[in-house]
Structure 1
Amino acid sequence: MLRQRKQLQDETVSKEHVEGSENAQASAQTTSVWPVLAALEAIVGPILLTVLAAYLRLYGLEKNPYVVWDEAHFGKFGSQYLKHEYYHDVHPPLGKMLCGLSEYLAGFNGSIENFNFESGSRYPVAFHYALVRWYGSWFGTLVVPVCYFTCKQMGYSLLTTYLISLMCCLELSYISLSKFILLDSSLLFFTATTLYCLAKLHSLRNREFSTRWIGWLCTTGVSIGCVCSVKWVGLFVTTLVGLYTTLELWLKFWSPSFKLHRYAKSWVYRVAGLIVLPFLVYLIFFKIHFGLLYKPGSGTGSLSSLYQASMQDTDVGNYPRNLAIGSKVTIRSQGKSPNLLHSHPSRYPAGSEQHQVTTYGFKDANNNFVVRPARTQRNYGPFIQDGDAVRLQHELTGANLHSHAIHAHVSDRYWEVSGYGDETVGDAKDDWVVEIVEQLHSGNKSYAATENGPEFYNTVHPLTTTFKLRHKVLGCYLATTGESYPTWGFKQGEVVCRPDTKLPFDRSTLWNVEMHENDDLAVESDYVYPSPRFLVDFFMVQHGMLASNNALVPDVHKHDEIASFWWQWPFALVGLRMCSWGPHVTKYYLLSHPFTTWFSTACLGGFVLLAVRLLLLWQRQQLALSADQLWKLTICGAVPFAGWLLHYFPFIVMGRVTYVHHYMPALYFAMYVAGFVVEYVAGSSRARYAVYGVLYALVGYLFWYFSPLCLGMAGRASEYAYLNWLPGWNIAK
């Protein structure tokens, strides 16, 4: 008995490693200092860290007066809000609205003659680029105090808190990304605030339904909504919160004090705070996005036709109200590639080798089709009706929209759609039957009162009629898949002929006429289009973003010098040149802190070994842990490790092109795992001060050594050859 008790004592994780309650956390952090010093540290510590972070991130913002790296995208998108011109991008709008706000605060009105944020171009004198960067840099700066308070909230020791905060403060890549007009700093900031909110909810887990708990639940929901509104990468930290919440609810279900009404209440509060509220925040930012961009712009082609008709200075909508044989039209998909039906002289490299048919997000003459009589129908009324068969002839190539029993090129379970023949060459496979799905009434109430009866409901109208096109021979429907063609198809959206699923949210087979010209038909001047439907436009834009993301795949025929692979990131094997590398420009090189990266990666492996060891001890009944100790292991070890895995693993499986900066959110979580492993190993031994001292020194020294990468390298790149530690670092090559 004594031997077994001794064995349990030896193997049990000490409370100094795994304290759980808030009181135990405060006690562990103040045992070695006087209460007055502890209170002073809680004020002075985060201030000093913030000042250091601000100095490093705000230093030298004016040194490079050129458009650096992705400033070409996000600086330009920010200016669109000031010009109120609509654009399309693969990311949600919040980060770019913040870029636009920075430009507005810097006195920019969105317009400088001949300046369009072209990569590498020099900023005009009238554009205060350093001030714009200055505003954006504060997001990167504030990540550091948020990190500090997160460590405190989780219950790390004071030594570990400063180790993690110092790694975050001196992280080379975070400093580099904070210096320019980019989305990464705001993404990392809201990722950090979401983790902090999760830690706060954890500390209040025994005060469920209290005012503070509800307040922090709602704050977590807002933070989730914000991080997802910057980039969809925010869904990864959202999943982390979801996994933690699932664990909480699972434990509550098996609790001896389980009560059904209280358990149901737990679900209701969490669903409202962590699902409904974030979605509403995400929705609100898109509402603001649409409200600010009320003029046509480069991305207007990704919007619904009705939305375009409602825009200021629009060229959409002044058309005859009824389609007829001979009408020239453009046709917009309402599905997963919500762009315009498109064709061009280029042909498929295999299959039929006929003209390609795609969807395209920009307006040009290759989107124009002419409504012609079908091969199988000769008698028509004055206007195109529900059930009529028509032939759609591409205006420029003269080829007819066609399908046949040849497999599609990307989604090969469906049939290919092509451009075939001409006015005389063709067959019944050129014919498509119009099936009207929905009619919308005019926004003019007096005009809408006249829109009734079969003549209105059975006639195809531009913009307000939603219809399907059924192939006359095969019986399949013209549809989009959300996939993109490879380079030979210019990465435009795939169009196929497929069965109609008739699922309630599947709009892939739905189309509407957008542009309509017919010299034989008059325009009705008193017609007013119905107001656009926000949710329809919202989901259409989500489909468009998804399709654009799916198109970001590596091009096997083109070498991308700055792209990298997922297996290179945890070992800092590669970096990224952010700008021109000539001697006349201050250069910045995106590389994560070598020691922080290598050490945190080693600690990730160490955490796995530690977790396996603890599980084996528990299985052998050689480990006794209290509930508080288990929660400490969860919040300080398992949660950061899961956060790292969630932010890293998706880039292994996804097919899109990847870059070094995609690892930066994962690195943030890896720092916490490193801190946990060090704290567990060092424990309360006398050597822990030496261990932490060495780690502080390595983090600080290697930051100083590599600081030119993030603070700016002037002169010739060859002067920095001493920084080329690894073959993949092309700093001085």
Structure 2
Amino acid sequence: MRPTISEKSGKKNQKSSKKNGSTSRPSSPPETSPTHSSALSEKEVSSSKPQTVPSAGPDASSNNTFQFKLAQYLIVIVSFLTRFWKLHVPNEVVFDEVHFGKFASYYIQGKYFFDLHPPFAKLLLAFVAWLAGYDGHYLFDNIGDNYKDYGVPYVAIRAWPALLSSLVPPLVFLTMKESGYELWACLVSACLVLFDNAHVAEGRLILLDATLVFSMVAAVYCYVRFFKLRHSPFSRGWWSWLFLTGVCLSCTISTKYVGLFTFCSIGLSVCLELWYLWDIKTGLPIQRFASHFLARFFCLIVFPFALYLFWFFLHFRLLTTSGPGDSFMSLQFQETLDENPISANATGVNYYDVVTIKHMGTNAFLHSHLDKYPIPYDDGRISSGGQQVTGYPFEDDNNYWMILPHDHYDDPKYKPNMPVKNTDYIKLHHVGTNTDLITHDVASPYNPTNEEFTTVSVDESAAEKHELTLFQLVISDEDSHDRQVFTKAMSFKLIHKLTNVAMWSDPKPLPDWGFNQQEINGAKNILSGPIFWMFDDILGLPEERVNKEVRVPKKLSFFKKYIELQLVMFRQNNLLTESHPYSSTPSDWFTLHHGIAFWAKNEENKQIYLLGNPIGWWLIGGIVITTTVVASVEMLLHQRGIVTLLPSVRNHFYRSIMFFYATYMFHYIPFYLMGRQLFLHHYLPAQVAGAMLCGAFIQLACIKSFKLPVSPGVKQPTDVDSNGYAKSIRRKGYICHALLSLALTAVLGYCFVFFAPMTYGDVSLSVPEWLRRKWLESWVFQYQK
């Protein structure tokens, strides 16, 4: 077990080494420190003297620099070639380009739209389109529409995600290099992404995943660079890489909310690192620890969140005109948009107006008809047997209600054209059946804890049941006290005066006796839920009351808009539970069981089918399983005092390899907990983490385990290098690693080329040729037989 070194002694040793003309760093923290992917000394520390980081190669020298640079340049060239190859093909709308291309058009037009994802990547696509001279006139209506027919600079727009996707393999290579791995490990990890058909197909289209994956890998790379400077805290480089880590994390979660998984991956390592710094053995004063904590808190949480909010601020500032996303938002939100038809057609509501009342959640009209509630219900409960009040989604004569003042049957002081105001008590008279709306202490059909809504005759309403007919109208706008109620532009709650329940609608259809219409009842929760309604229209509105004034958009604070949008986004995301022909489960991704048909030209037997490189994906799956088994067995045996890995190997395994393993798991396991639609492209961030894990584990298997045990008092053989490795055995391990890596790279490259026709959609293949590529029956190709 290596001794711990205080921060002060580390600095002192650094100064001493500078005087001697060499650089060194303090020894890394003990095995309980964070799992990470930084380059760490694997040498056992026998004194407080700082240890330099040893090379993982057998005969490390400065000549390795040339090899790394050469490999890096080749990866950059090949990466750009694979992503930009025939970028103009196909010249038609492909898969989800119908969504994200449309959103870019709406940004340019300034029309409000709704999407489940944060705005960062969509804003970038819109900006690139604008720079290319696009005016947003085309809305990417259908898959297969020809871009040239509409004058869309689609190649320029596609070039942006292709650029980001091209940078991912070099970043993976650099991350492995900065983590202290050999050239061959870096090459394997980079090639698993470089020659992956799914990354290429997804990364060269007008989609969001290239931005997501690039930001995720950049965050990991920046964190590795930051952690390598852990013994030079608060230096310029330390601050720079910490700050850039926060920027990349913010870009990740600002692209898609699954970017939260990257936060968790790096956050776990940060928390473990802080836990080590908190240890009294480090000799770190409380004030110094507080500085470490606050630096990370600001750079990794506060600033990323502020940057994340900025993209929403820009989103709202650009989308100022009414658009297709209006219907998802509240009426108060819609009133802030220019040319909003609801605001333009809003009309003040007066007493004795005949109106239709629409539920905000389901768009069903408040409805009643002569049919009665059954006595009893199927479960044996008893109803009042009164007239049914339901929610009906279509226009009908039984949707008309007259708004009456609460003292209509006494000595009314209300006159025609008297406005209905917020917090007024009103009565609702059903015109079609000449009855008044009530609720009372009788259980509703589906909800025994909620009250039944029904109607009573005018005579009963004027006498003993008058109090049951009174409802308070409460506008949802907080600043609307004593304000007149308008149609369309205001939502309200209808709260019963006597029992204090709110009129509520359940989208679950009633049985045949209720004509499969929605249940209306009284809910005890009067603060939230599906209890909001609006006056939709006024029947027979006189010409003089038709609103003709030009309405100025109202103001709503940024945070109110942001919070409302977040709630709507999460609500709509949870509603995506319907099956889709190309949806898949996380277990399908692991085995590459399903792909996604992006585009097809059947008459030419061309298609784009999203499918990962099978060799790479199956290899990563095997390595993940192997790592799980090795880590589990090693920990169990270690607890019993059985040494299976040398201390340096074990240290490397848990510090570096398990960081990549944790990153993979954080980007994979949470999808098992989701109930929404999932697709193969959701696996791409996990696949990148798996690629880095794969390169690291293969190096461990080939090289790291060849260190010879050293017995006390026994003279070391001349064949042992300074790191304790037998040179001949070490050399064999290195040769094995190199040959295995070259063979794997060749196989990955061949497999990529073999499946390239379905990645680029540029080659016509015969039916036998397509069938040769159908390695699994579950791959649903589209070709003309």
TM range (shorter): 0.7 to 0.9
Equivalent position of 1:707 in the other structure: 756
Structure 2 counterpart of 1:447: none
Aligned pair 1:384/2:420, yes or no? Answer: yes
Shift of 1:437: 6.8
Quote the residue 2:145 is aligned against.
121
**Counterparts of 2:67 and 2:564, CA distance in 1:** 51
- Contact kept, 8 Å, 1:593 with 1:703, in 2: the verdict is yes
Aligned equivalent of 1:326: 353
Conservation of the 8 A alpha-carbon contact between 1:19 and 1:632: no
Q: What stretches of structure 1 of length at least 5 have no aligned partner?
A: 1-11, 334-338, 442-455
Match of 1:153 in 2: 178
In the alignment, is the contact (CA less than 8 A) between 1:95 and 1:229 conserved in 2?
yes
Shift of 1:247: 1.6
Q: CA deviation at 1:209?
A: 3.0
Q: CA deviation at 1:161?
A: 0.8
Matched, 1:292 2:318: yes
Secondary structure of 2:322's match? Answer: coil
Of 575, 580, 587, 1:551 maps to 575
Q: Which residue of 2 aligns with 1:434?
A: 473
Distance 1:711 1:534 in 2: 43
Say which of 190, 196, 212 aligns to 1:171.
196
Please report how far the alpha carbon of residue 282 of structure 1 lies from its aligned counterpart in structure 2 after TM superposition: 1.4
Could you tell me how far apart the structure 2 residues matched to 1:463 and 1:711 are? 49
Task: Identify unmatched segments of 5+ residues in structure 2.
Answer: 1-30, 32-36, 43-49, 512-517, 705-729
Query: 2:167 is matched with which residue: 132, 142, 151?
Result: 142
Per mean C-alpha deviation after superposition, the further-off stretch among 164-173 and 523-532 is: 523-532
Q: State the match for 1:477 in structure 2.
A: 502
- The 5 Å alignment of 1:341-420 reads 342-343=364-365, 355-356=390-391, 372-373=403-404, 382-390=418-426, 415=450
Of 95, 119, 123, the residue aligned with 1:97 is: 123
| Aligned counterparts, 1:689-700, within 5 A | 689-700=738-749
Q: Which residue does the alignment assign to 2:593? A: 573
Q: 1:531 aligns with which of 550, 555, 572?
A: 555
What is the Cα deviation at residue 44 of structure 1? 3.1
Other-structure match for 2:514 = none
Partner deviation per Cα, 1:679-702 (whole Å, 9 max, x = no partner)? 221125413233323322322222
When the two chains are superposed, the root-mean-square deviation of aligned CA atoms in Å is: 4.5
Residue 28 of structure 1: aligned partner: 55
Distance in 1 (CA, whole Å) between partners of 2:457 and 2:187 is: 73
- Residue by residue over 1:338-393, the C-alpha shift from the partner in whole angstroms, topping out at 9 and shown as x without a partner, is x6854499999x999974479x9xxx999x98662389975675333454344679
> Which stretch of the first structure deviates more once superposed, 511-520 or 191-200?
511-520
- Residue of structure 1 equivalent to 2:47: none
Relative to structure 1, is the Cα distance of residues 523 and 585 closer, same or farther in structure 2, using a 3 angstrom cutoff?
same
Pick which of 374-383 and 567-576 moved more: 374-383
Change (3 A) 1:683 1:30: closer
Give the greater-gyration-radius structure (CA).
2
Q: Indicate which of 613, 618, 624 corresponds to 1:598.
A: 618
Offset of residue 495 of structure 1: 9.6
- For residues 73 and 604 of structure 1, do their structure 2 counterparts lie closer, same or farther at Cα, with a shift above 3 Å needed? same
1:586 aligns with one of 606, 626, 630: 606
* Cα-to-partner distance string for 1:292-327 (whole Å, 9 max, x where unaligned): 111111112233434433433333435456765527
1:680/1:628 CA distance change after superposition, 3 Å: closer
Going from structure 1 to structure 2, the CA distance change for 1:321 and 1:173 (only over 3 Å counts) comes to same
How far did 1:190 drift?
Answer: 1.1
Give the 3-state SS of the residue equivalent to 1:187 in structure 2.
helix
Between the aligned partners of 1:420 and 1:29, the Cα distance in structure 2 is: 83
CA distance in 2, matches of 1:239, 1:394: 56
How many residues matched? 675
Aligned with 2:682 (options 659, 662, 687): 662
- Residue 59 of structure 1 and its aligned partner are, at CA, apart by 0.8
Corresponding residue SS for 2:231: helix
Asked whether the 8 Å contact 1:343–1:419 carries over to 2, the reply is no
Q: Secondary structure at the match of 1:68?
A: coil
Q: Secondary structure at the match of 1:156?
A: coil
Pair 1:719-2:769 in alignment:
yes
Local SS of the residue matching 2:641: coil
Q: Which of 229, 237, 247 is the matching residue for 1:204?
A: 229
The 5-angstrom pairing of residues 617-696 of structure 1 reads 617-623=637-643, 632-684=652-704, 685=730, 686=732, 687-696=736-745
Deviations 1:423-481 (A, max 9, x none): 9999988864234676438xxxxxxxxxxxxxx54765779988643245653335799
Name the stretch that deviates more: 233-242 or 707-716: 707-716
Specify whether residues 157 and 43 from structure 1 end up closer, same or farther in structure 2 by C-alpha distance, changes over 3 A only: closer
- Structure 1 window deviating more from structure 2 (660-669 vs 427-436): it is 427-436
> Quick one: distance in 2 between partners of 1:667 and 1:395?
63
Aligned to 2:719: none
Residue 92 of structure 1 contacts residue 232 of structure 1 at CA under 8 Å; is this kept in 2?
A: yes
Matches within 5 A, 1:160-239: 160-239=185-264
Change in 2 beyond 3 A, CA 1:201/1:327: farther
Structure 2 Cα separation of the partners of residues 205 and 626 of structure 1: 25
Distance 1:163 1:388, change over 3 A: same
CA contact (8 A) 2:219 2:248 kept: yes
The corresponding residue for 1:71 is 97
Question: What's 1:48 paired with?
Answer: 74
Q: Give the TM-score normalised by the residue count of structure 2.
A: 0.74
1:242 aligns with 2:267: yes
* Shift in CA distance, 275/356, structure 1 to aligned 2, threshold 3 Å: farther
Q: Structure 1 residues 155, 531: closer, same or farther in 2, change over 3 A?
A: same
Contact 1:581–1:717 (8 Å) recurs in 2: no
Change in 2 beyond 3 A, CA 1:632/1:521: farther
Could you tell me how far 1:25 is from its partner in structure 2? 8.6
Q: CA 1:522–1:60 in structure 2 vs 1: closer, same or farther (change >3 Å)?
A: closer
Question: Post-superposition shift, 1:280?
Answer: 1.1
8 Å CA contact retained: 1:357, 1:419:
no
**Aligned sequence identity (%):** 23
Shift of 1:108: 1.7
CA distance in 2, matches of 1:408, 1:419: 12
**Cα deviation, residue 663, structure 1:** 1.3
Residues 636-671 of structure 1, C-alpha deviations (whole Å, 9 max, x = no match): 222222222222222212111221111111111111
Q: Tell me, what secondary structure is at the counterpart of 2:254?
A: helix
Q: What is the rounded CA distance, in whole Å, between the counterparts of 1:628 and 1:480 in structure 2?
A: 65
Give the deviation of 1:70 after TM superposition.
Answer: 0.7
Q: Distance in 1 between matches of 2:249 and 2:134?
A: 30
Give the 3 Å change call, closer, same or farther, for CA 123–522 of structure 1 in structure 2.
closer
| Alpha-carbon spacing, 1:408–1:531, altered in 2? closer, same or farther (3 Å) | farther
> Residues 18 and 630 of structure 1 are in contact (CA less than 8 Å); yes or no, is this contact kept in structure 2?
no
Change (3 A) 1:465 1:602: same
Aligned to 2:630: 610
Deviations 1:260-279 (A, max 9, x none): 33333333222222222122
Question: Within 1, Cα distance between the matches of 2:519 and 2:649?
Answer: 54
- Cα gap change, 1:96 to 1:429, in 2 (>3 Å): farther
> Residue 554 of structure 1: SS of its match in structure 2?
coil
Q: 1:392 to 1:601 in 2, by over 3 A?
A: farther
